[in-house]
Amino acid sequence: MGGSMTKAERVYRELRQRVETMDRGMRFPSVRQVIRELGVSQVTVDRALDRLSEEGLIVRRPKRGIFIAGDDEPGREVSTRRIGVAIPDYPSPVYESYARHMMRQVDAAGHMVRLLRYSWRDRVPRGLTLERLDGLVLVPTGTQFHPEDIYRISRMGVPVVLMERLVPGVVMDCVGPDNEGGGALAASHLIELGHRRLAVLVCEPRGVTLEARVAGFRRQVEASGLASPRVIDGHVEPGESAALRACLVLKGEIEREGVTFTGLFVVSDGSAIGALKALHDGGIGIPDQVSVVGFGDIPEAAVYHPSLTTIREDTAAMAHAAVEIIERRLDGDQTPAIQRVLAPDLVVRESTGAVRDC
């Protein structure tokens, strides 16, 4: 995300990186040790540890210390299989959600888990240490794969499952949401509410995932006999704040063109929250004048005011399917390619309503 990082955020990220290098059950440094090492206050350290605990990455045991989560649950059998989860190091709540769900699912399945981060500038991770892993769940960036990328993945030496990316026609294991279907679902919802003047706001770096969402929305709108939706592209570069950019872009659009739509589909929840802010600042009623639909169902979507109607990706189901595919491969399944497409759900909240001005 853009902007300066707070001290608490820096400490959290540093401690999280340390957690990711440690095995389950290992003792984590004490609060006093972290204070001495990083030269920060106890309040800052406690906040960072609280976040790690809430994410299920560490466990605080009274009179014993802090441990990497999953060390000694009674009666629980732990396998010797080590599953890696590789995510881009791009600051995104979506990637962090994938990481949390994958780590919990691998842990729940009784396997050892190792979180790996790679540069978001790479289409496929470079230089990952896979010698001690038995399988890898790879969350790719939004960039379109090239043929050489597919080859590199096939040569990683362990079973690999792509999460959140579908590659039809390619012999590769993958699991992901129907992004095009999700876009169509957003369009159907707005059309059923009576909206006829529709627009799409894109304030994330362009990639195959977002393009599919836009294509699905456009297809459903045109199939309903309506004019093709206006696409408002913020031309966001990697590293920019999606929410901030969405707010600024939509404000500029409204200042130049006025409000030319009653229904707005925003391709991610993070940028949708920025869009809600822009509409609110412009005195535009939500949903009385404009209805807004996001995509992703991040936690903030439910608590923002007005709460955000969105297309929900079932991240827990994706994580479960990815682990199941890895287990099948390790158990000897020779099926050429196991591919799972998960249908998204519409979560209706306060940001959408029946049209009042066509």
Q: For residue range 317-357, list pLDDT tens digits in order.
A: 999 999 999 999 999 999 999 999 999 999 999 999 999 85
Question: Are residues 98 and 147 part of one domain?
Answer: yes
Q: Between the CA of residue 6 and those of 3, 42, 270, 299, what are the distances in Å?
A: 10, 15, 20, 21
Question: Are residues 264 and 205 part of one domain?
Answer: yes
Q: Is the pTM of this model over 0.95?
A: no
- Residue 1's pLDDT is 38
Q: For residue range 247-302, list pLDDT tens digits in order.
A: 999 999 999 999 999 999 999 999 999 999 999 999 999 999 999 999 999 888 99
**C-alpha distance across the termini of the chain, in Å:** 37
Token code pair at residue 304:
């923002």
The DSSP letter of residue 228 is P
pLDDT of 54 > 60? The answer is yes
- Residue 80's pLDDT is 72
Q: Total structural domains in the chain?
A: 3
Give the number of other Cβ atoms within 10 Å of residue 288's Cβ. 13
Contacts 24+ apart (CB under 8 A), 56-61: 56/100, 56/103, 56/104, 56/107, 57/16, 57/19, 57/103, 58/19, 58/28
Domain assignment of residue 299, given as a range: 179-313
- Residue 188's pLDDT is 99
Question: Are residues 100 and 156 part of one domain?
Answer: yes
Question: Are residues 95 and 48 part of one domain?
Answer: no
> Is residue 248 situated within a structural domain?
yes
Question: Are residues 335 and 209 part of one domain?
Answer: no
Question: Are residues 132 and 279 part of one domain?
Answer: no
Question: Are residues 220 and 133 part of one domain?
Answer: no
> Is residue 354 situated within a structural domain?
no
CATH number, domain with residue 52: 1.10.10.10
Token code pair at residue 21:
């290098």
Question: Are residues 187 and 105 part of one domain?
Answer: no
pLDDT of 75 > 70? The answer is no
> Is residue 73 situated within a structural domain?
no
Query: Averaged over 114-122, what is the pLDDT?
Result: 87
H-helix or E-strand containing 82? Answer: strand 82-88
DSSP three-state, residue 182: helix
Q: How sure is the predictor about 5, in pLDDT bands with cuts at 50, 70 and 90?
A: low
Query: Averaged over 142-154, what is the pLDDT?
Result: 86
> Is residue 237 situated within a structural domain?
yes
Query: Averaged over 87-115, what is the pLDDT?
Result: 85
Q: Between the CA of residue 38 and those of 5, 15, 31, 242, what are the distances in Å?
A: 16, 10, 11, 31
Q: Give the contacts of 101 (CB within 8 A, at least 6 positions apart).
A: 315, 316, 318, 319
